[in-house]
Amino acid sequence: MKLRSFVLALLLLAAFAFSKTITVGTSADFPPFEYIENGRFVGFDMDLMREIAKIAGFELKFVDMSFDSLIPALRAGQIDVVAAAMTITEERKQVVDFSIPYWTADQSVIVRADSNLTITVLFGKYKIGVQTGTTGDLWCTDELVSKGILPERNLKRYDTFILALSDLLNGNIDAIVLDSPVASRFAATKPVKVVGIIVTGEQYGIAVRKGNKELLNAINNALKQIIESGKMSELIDKYF
Ligand code: ARG
């Protein structure tokens, strides 16, 4: 028994000595997945990364940036991981590798709580806000702008949802298209409401640099453990 605890202590020491720091990029404007509270990165994705790090034995450093900078920063080696409620898409899979999926979502349309607008807000004369480079942006671009339903000038792209939301509340835009879980959170905490859902059936994954097998395997193994141990359900209860 004594020997076992000695070996264990030694292993822990070794793990500590060799533990490396993984830099996690996010766009901390997306409650309940990632946001900043009292100067600290919080949210489902942030805690999920902390649990993964515990299991895989690495230290974490979080970096906040605009969503559309995340993949370029990952490819350039400025960050090692993207944890940002990022949807696994074919286009992104060409340039980064994704973990097993950990969440599913659709797109929602939100307007001001006191507005009479409905889902038809999307069809022409109103101003629609999206976060640059998100699947909401891509959906509006492909399904509305490219098809001549929404004039390009009426699609407003923002670096962060914080800016989009304040423009919606100020009346500078009329609606925002964004992921359904985040739309529901905003509807519960801000004077906005959901007027429609666009079923896209997206799945979120954690992204690593293409070919970074070691890190990807560590993340996937940890994710499986987190799901099996019930820790995942605990995190869901905490944030949803
Ligand atoms: N799921 C969407 C996408 O991958 C939106 C993600 C936005 N994430 C964020 N942290 N702002 O494009």
Determine the atom of ligand 1 nearest the C-alpha atom of 178. Answer: 5
- What's the gap in Å between 12 CA and the centre of ligand 1? 36
Nearest-CA neighbor of 168 among 129, 199, 217, 224?
129
Determine the atom of ligand 1 nearest the C-alpha atom of 34. Answer: 10
Q: How many residues does the chain have?
A: 240
- What's the gap in Å between 11 CA and the centre of ligand 1? 38
3-class state of residue 62 by DSSP: strand
Determine the atom of ligand 1 nearest the C-alpha atom of 87. Answer: 4
The encoded tokens of residue 24 equal: 């996690």
Mutation test residue for ligand 1: of 26, 67, 198, the one with most atoms within 8 Å of CB: 67
Separation of CA 195 from chain center: 22
Instruction: Please report the domains of the chain, with CATH numbers, ordered by start residue.
Output: 11-104+204-239 (3.40.190.10), 105-201 (3.40.190.10)
- Longest Cα pair distance anywhere in the chain, in angstroms? 75
Is the beta carbon of 176 within 6 A of some atom in ligand 1?
A: no
Q: What region, left, alpha or beta, does residue 38 occupy, with left being phi > 0 and alpha being psi -120 to 50 degrees?
A: left
Strand pairing class (21-26; 81-82)? parallel
Q: What is the pLDDT along the chain (240 residues), one digit of tens a residue?
A: 566 776 666 655 555 555 699 999 999 999 999 999 999 999 999 999 999 999 999 999 999 999 999 999 999 999 999 999 999 999 999 999 999 999 999 999 999 999 999 999 999 899 999 999 999 999 999 999 999 999 999 999 999 999 999 999 999 999 999 999 999 999 999 999 999 999 999 999 999 999 999 999 999 999 999 999 999 999 999 999
Is the beta carbon of 107 within 6 A of some atom in ligand 1?
A: no
Is the beta carbon of 47 within 6 A of some atom in ligand 1?
A: no
Is the beta carbon of 160 within 6 A of some atom in ligand 1?
A: no
Q: Which residues, 6 or more positions from 207, have their beta carbon under 8 angstroms from its beta carbon?
A: 70, 71, 74, 81, 82, 86, 92, 96, 97, 98, 99
Return the ∠ at Cα 82 (arms to 90 and 68), rounded to 5°.
70
